[in-house]
Each structure stands twice: as C-alpha cells, then as structure tokens.
Chain A
Amino acid sequence: KQEVTQIPAALSVPEGENLVLNCSFTDSAIYNLQWFRQDPGKGLTSLLLIQSSQREQTSGRLNASLDKSSGRSTLYIAASQPGDSATYLCAVTPNGQNFVFGPGTRLSVLP
C-alpha cells in the first residue's frame, strides 16, 4: 500500500529565504506526482504536475523535482514571500486515476 510522508510538518522562515519541502513515497511505481497548495479553509490549488518520465517541473519561483527510484520529490521555493504561507501537499498516483496524499507541510513566511 502506497504511503506518502512529508517533512517537515511545519516550517517558519523569514521573507526572502529559499526553502525546500520534502515528499517521500514508499512505492516507486508511480504514474505521476502532483504538488498542491491549500490556504486555510480553502480547496486545493494545483502547483505542479510531474509525469513519471520527467525529472522536474518549474513554474515561476517554484521548482519540483522527482526521483522515482529513491521515492522522493522536493518542492523548491525561491525568494519566499508572505503570500506563500499555506499548507503544501504532495500526492502520487500508481495508475493515473486515484491519488494518495501526504499529510502536508504548513509553511509560514514572516515579513
């Protein structure tokens, strides 16, 4: 059974810092991996989707990498801003249909 973990559970950084969020999954046979952002009391917003054949994806200040063989993905946020404060979740799917989610990393960027 696929299990997804995220480290750290919570992170607080001053504005302007570069930071890395980590996601690990137990079964490397994934179809793709998706990173989401969730603001308090809101739905999930998709940030990046990495296909199993890809190594990384970039969108603005965000860069996500995927290492299937080691069961890891990282989300890199450059020059963090207070508006980046949210919970970040990663999710993997073995078949392109149902995703398994990690518990999330709660990020606070202090002005």
Chain B
Amino acid sequence: SQTIHQWPATLVQPVGSPLSLECTVEGTSNPNLYWYRQAAGRGLQLLFYSVGIGQISSEVPQNLSASRPQDRQFILSSKKLLLSDSGFYLCAWKDRGNYGYTFGSGTRLTVV
C-alpha cells in the first residue's frame, strides 16, 4: 500500500535561518507531488507541485523553493526564513489517474 512520510513534525527556526522540509512517498511510482501551506485562520494554499523528477511548478512567488531530486522525494527549502513563513506545511501526492489527494501528517513551522 502507498504511504507518505513528512518530517519533521514541528520546527522552530529563527528569522534568517535556512529551511529544509522533506516528503517521501512509498508504494507508487511517478506520482504528482504537492506542497501546501495552511496559515492560521486561513485555507490551504498551493505552493508548488511536481509532475516528475526535476519538474517544479510554482503557484505563489515567495521566499520558498522546491526540488524533486528523486521520483518519490519532494523537498521544500528556504535560504532565509521570514516571520511570514510560519504555518502548517502539508505534502500530498496523487496518482496520474483520476484519483484524489493523499496528504502527509504536516509540519508545524514557527519562525521566531
């Protein structure tokens, strides 16, 4: 069966520090991969999605970047965090067929 792993679960980082969040998927190949952010009191915002290795689409210009070095690995990064980067970050994957999303357990990022 397919599983999705996301880590760390919580993270407290100072302003200006770098960020690396990792997401991996098991039990499937060539999935679509997504990074979403959920800010306090707001809905889910799509940040990046990827349809293949090295293929990244950005939905919102910002302080963040994403990479897909392997088929089932999706990484969210920042060189210098801002206070506004605080939020709940969710990774999701989806098969190429007519199926829905499966989400990871999320990372709570607090920038101080």
Which residues of A does B touch, CB under 8 Å?
31-32, 34, 36, 41-46, 49, 51, 89, 91, 96-104
Contact = CB atoms under 8 A, between A and B. Distances in A.
Q: Secondary structure of the B side of the interface? A: strand
Interface residues of B, number: 24
B98 A91 contact: no
The 7 closest A-B pairs by CB, nearest first: A49-B100, A101-B44, A34-B100, A44-B103, A43-B105, A103-B43, A43-B103
Contacts of A98: 34, 46, 49, 59
B44 A32 contact: no
Contacts, number: 53
Contacts of B43: 89, 101-104
Contacts of B51: 97
A46 B105 contact: no
Contacts of A32: 98, 100
B90 A43 contact: yes
Nearest to A102: B43
Contacts of A104: 43
Interface string B88-112: 1010101000111111111010000
Contacts of A45: 103
